[in-house]
Each structure stands twice: as C-alpha cells, then as structure tokens.
C-alpha cells in the first residue's frame, strides 16, 4: 500500500493538489488586498469634500458631535486621542462655531462611561453643562451616526474626531442621511498612533460592508431626545 502511494503518479497528483491550493490562496490574498484598497479609496473619496481644516471653512451648524474614546490610554496615562477631541470641541464652542455639543460614546458596562468622562473634561475647559448632551449608546461610529439622526433628531452636524477617523465617520454619517462635516482634532504623533491608524484601514472595509452588504443596524435606539440649543 505504501509503495503504491509513493509512485511517480501519486507524487505528481499530490504536488498538483498542493499547487492548486497555493494558487487559490494567492487569489484569495490578492482579492483581499484589492478589497482593502478599494474600500479605503471609496471611503476617502466620499468624505474628502466634507472634511475641513480650519474653523473658518466650517458651515454654520449648531451641533458638534464629539466621538467617544477612553480618557485613559493602555498604560493608564492620559489618552492623547481623548484630550485632542475634547480640546478641539471646547475650542469650537468657545469661538462660536457650534452652539451645542453631543458627546457620544460607550457606556456598555457600569464601570466604563465615556460620555460622562467627556462631559467632565469639557466642563473643565469652560463648556457649560447646559450646552452638552450625552449619548450613552455610541458603541460604534455607525451607532453614533444612526442615533444622531433617529434619536436626537439632527439633520446637520459637525463631527469632531481624529484626522484618520474622520473619513469613516463622515462616510457613515452621510450614509445615515446626515449633512455632516468633519473638523479633525489635534493630530496625535505617528509614533503614538500608528497602531490605531493601521486598524482604521481595516475598519473602513467593515464600514463599506455595514452600509452596502450587511445593512447593519445600531445596537440600541430608544425614545427620541430633544436637544436644548441656546439661541
């Protein structure tokens, strides 16, 4: 039996099967690369006209939507992404570019509360509590955008988040029917943000799948909330 399995014909058959598997793996890998490149190109293309670099370029929009992240970094120190978003949001409020801030983040467990941490930090930078509304169910960027439209009744919004996150945030906001414009927070140096930027490349693929293939819905909506915007 063993001698039969090692005949030239058997060896050739096994080699052929191995090469076929290698060929399929190469095709699958190439398809994955094409999908990543195409999704990133599409998200960037769809959002680039709606991301501005200076406050003077921002259209007149009452509400700034601040996207959540943890106030603490992996080492337990201050998270520069959190600090940048809060500082930028407070600045836009102080100079009158926005009248109200909707802070949206994850409060999925009792001991993890991004929105409350954002509110505390904004108040510390001079934003009155009356000008801040908390969205406790912004578990993902998609959830945040869907809730901004369906729960908080927004039509137009200025999105405040990091530069690398802005394209996906604006893409998802506009997919939800929001007239959204992005204002990037202060750029975190590449040596501190390279892993997050790399993950964002994959996240843009997921965003395209959510919008065009999976038609993903937010985890939780709830009753409508009226924002009290000062005149």
Report whether 213 contacts 137 (CB < 8 A). no
DSSP state of 224: -
Q: Which residue has the higher pLDDT, 231 or 214?
A: 214
What does the alpha-carbon distance between residue 33 and residue 23 come to, in Å, rounded to a whole number?
Answer: 15
How many domains are contained in the chain? 1
* Residue 29 falls inside a structural domain: no
pLDDT digits (tens, 9 = 90+) for 130-183: 999 999 999 999 999 999 999 999 999 999 999 999 999 999 999 999 999 999
With respect to residue 222, please indicate whether it lies within any of the assigned structural domains. no
CA distance 183 to 64: 9
pLDDT higher than 80, residue 16? no
In a domain, 221, yes or no: no
Q: Do 101 and 68 contact (CB within 8 A), yes or no?
A: no
Kindly give, in sequence order, each residue whose CB lies less than 8 Å from that of residue 96, ignoring residues fewer than 6 positions away. none
Write the CA distances from 110 to 35, 103, 107, 114, 230, integer angstroms.
38, 18, 7, 11, 31
**Sequential DSSP letters for 174-203:** HHTT-EEEEEE-PPPPHHHHHHHHHHHHHH
Is 158 or 29 the better-scoring residue by pLDDT?
158
191 within a domain of the structure (yes/no): yes
Residue 197 has pLDDT above 90, yes or no: yes
Neighbours of 211 (CB within 10 A): 17
Band (20; pLDDT cuts 50, 70, 90): confident
Tell me the pLDDT band of 110, cut-offs 50, 70 and 90.
Answer: confident
pLDDT at residue 1 above 60?
no
Instruction: Report yes or no on 43 lying in a domain.
Output: no
Structural domain includes residue 84: yes
pTM of this prediction exceeds 0.75: yes
* 8 Å CB contact between 144 and 65: yes
| 161 found inside a domain | yes
Specify whether the CB–CB gap between 130 and 230 falls below 8 A. yes
End-to-end CA distance of the chain: 89
* Residues of the domain holding 163: 48-214
Residue 129 located in a structural domain: yes
Summary mean pLDDT of the chain: 92
Please report, for the domain that includes residue 185, its CATH number: 3.40.50.620
């Amino acid at each position: 039996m063993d001698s039969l399995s090692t005949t030239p014909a058997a060896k050739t058959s096994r080699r052929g099967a191995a090469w076929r598997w290698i060929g399929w793996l190469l095709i699958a890998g190439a398809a994955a690369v094409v999908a990543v490149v195409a999704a990133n190109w599409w998200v960037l293309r769809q959002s680039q006209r709606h991301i501005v670099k200076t406050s003077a370029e921002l259209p007149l929009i009452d509400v700034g939507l601040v996207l959540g992240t943890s106030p603490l970094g992996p080492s337990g120190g201050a998270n520069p992404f959190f600090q940048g978003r809060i500082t930028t949001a407070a600045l836009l409020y102080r100079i009158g570019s926005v009248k109200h801030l909707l802070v949206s983040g994850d409060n999925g467990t009792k001991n993890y509360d991004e929105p409350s941490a954002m509110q505390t930090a904004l108040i510390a930078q001079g934003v009155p509590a009356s000008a801040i509304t908390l969205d406790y169910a912004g578990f993902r960027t998609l959830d945040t955008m869907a809730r901004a439209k369906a729960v908080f009744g927004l039509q137009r919004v200025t999105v405040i988040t990091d530069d690398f996150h802005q394209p996906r945030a604006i893409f998802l906001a506009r997919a939800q029917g929001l007239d959204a414009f992005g204002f990037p927070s202060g750029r975190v140096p590449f040596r501190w943000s390279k892993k997050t930027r790399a993950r964002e490349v994959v996240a843009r693929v997921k965003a395209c799948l959510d919008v065009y293939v999976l038609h993903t819905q937010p985890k939780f909506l709830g009753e409508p909330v009226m924002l009290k915007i000062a005149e």
